[in-house]
Amino acid sequence: MRKLLINSTALATVAGLTASVALADVSITATTEYAVSSRDSTIAASNGGFQTQTSELGFTFSSKTDSGISLKYNTQFSGTAAATPDESNLSISGGFGKVVLGMKDGAAGTYGMGATDLIAEESGAGATTSHTISTGSDISLGTNDNNKIAYHLPAMGGLTAGVSFEDSGTTTAANTATDLTSVGARYVTALGGMDLTLAAAQSSQESAIGVATTKATNMGVKVVKGNFSAIYATTGYTADGEDRTSSGYALSYNMGDGLIVGAYKDNSKDASDAGEKFTISGIEAQYTLAAGLTAVINMDNFDYDTSTDNSAGSDDGNLTKLTIKAAF
């Protein structure tokens, strides 16, 4: 009798779980990239060839309430930290807009625009010995996946916008909170036979009393006409002892038959560190080998000049990289 009761309870539990799961749509995605690179650098330790591999596994659960509110839970794991999710968040959306709770990009990361948004694989070459220079034209503050709350307005014509707030929590020292607030917006319209996108973002992070607040801004414009796309973007970053500005542009053309070619250039300097500047330019070819399988070839040139008060050495050279990407 006891065995029968246990079996009946188990069946009822399974039935209940099945009913619950049936209420949600489940999506599983996976991506993996393998790259082989060859770098020529004035820093001996950076010379030579190397191989890298990254992967990501994502799960998304979505459902809709009787009142029409959409619920979505998303979690993603990277191959380098499989036990800890890179993202884990709940989004609640409806006629009021969308609220996102948890680990997800802030508003600046969602709406900001960089020149290399048109480039499939950024090399990351150059300036590896210094953290006092920006290496791209996208916003560099408010793009992390830390816990935060974000609100996105309902789309109004071609306008989308949002704001996010990240609480740094309590600290053992007084007046050292680093709460971060970011806002962003994009506007998409058709103009003269082309699609035009305008983007703007701003982030501000608190600092200790007497220390300058860290701020970052970004503006970008994207033009698409047929198979041709172009982006121009600028960004600024100010903090205690830092005053960085960057600008960049990128061009992309879809040649058809699975081939997309692109080129880009980014320039950065730091007015607070005399003489410190960074330039990188490159060309790229993406080719779709099969559905979900892509090969990308990048050839980049970079030049980093250290500041007069920075002990890190200058670096210039080039990097060639082949990346095989698979999406499931």
- Single out the residue of 46, 57, 103 nearest to residue 80, CA to CA: 57
What is the distance between the alpha carbons of residues 231 and 197, in angstroms, rounded to a whole number?
9
- Kindly state the percentage of the chain with pLDDT values over 70: 84
- Single out the residue of 172, 227, 176, 180 nearest to residue 204, CA to CA: 180
- Residue 38: both structure tokens together: 């060859």
What is the distance between the alpha carbons of residues 111 and 129, in angstroms, rounded to a whole number?
30
Residues 220-263 have pLDDT tens digits of 999 999 999 999 999 999 988 889 999 999 999 999 999 999 99
The reported pLDDT for the residue numbered 23 is 63
- For residue 49, give its domain range: 2-327
Total number of domains constituting the chain: 1
Q: What integer best gives the mean pLDDT of the chain? A: 86
Q: In the structure, what pLDDT confidence band is assigned to residue 196 with cuts at 50, 70 and 90?
A: very high
Provide the residue type at 63 as one letter. S
The reported pLDDT for the residue numbered 12 is 41
Q: In the structure, what pLDDT confidence band is assigned to residue 16 with cuts at 50, 70 and 90?
A: very low
| Integer angstrom CA distances of residue 223 from 80, 199, 278 | 36, 12, 26
Q: In the structure, what pLDDT confidence band is assigned to residue 175 with cuts at 50, 70 and 90?
A: low
What is the distance between the alpha carbons of residues 301 and 299, in angstroms, rounded to a whole number?
7
CATH number (domain holding residue 231): 2.40.160.10
Residues 223-233 have pLDDT tens digits of 999 999 999 99
What is the distance between the alpha carbons of residues 182 and 26, in angstroms, rounded to a whole number?
31
Strands (E), 95-193: 97-103, 147-152, 159-166, 180-191
User: Between vectors from CA 31 to CA 112 and to CA 116, what angle results, nearest 5°?
Assistant: 30
> 46 or 215, which is more confident?
215
Q: In the structure, what pLDDT confidence band is assigned to residue 58 with cuts at 50, 70 and 90?
A: very high
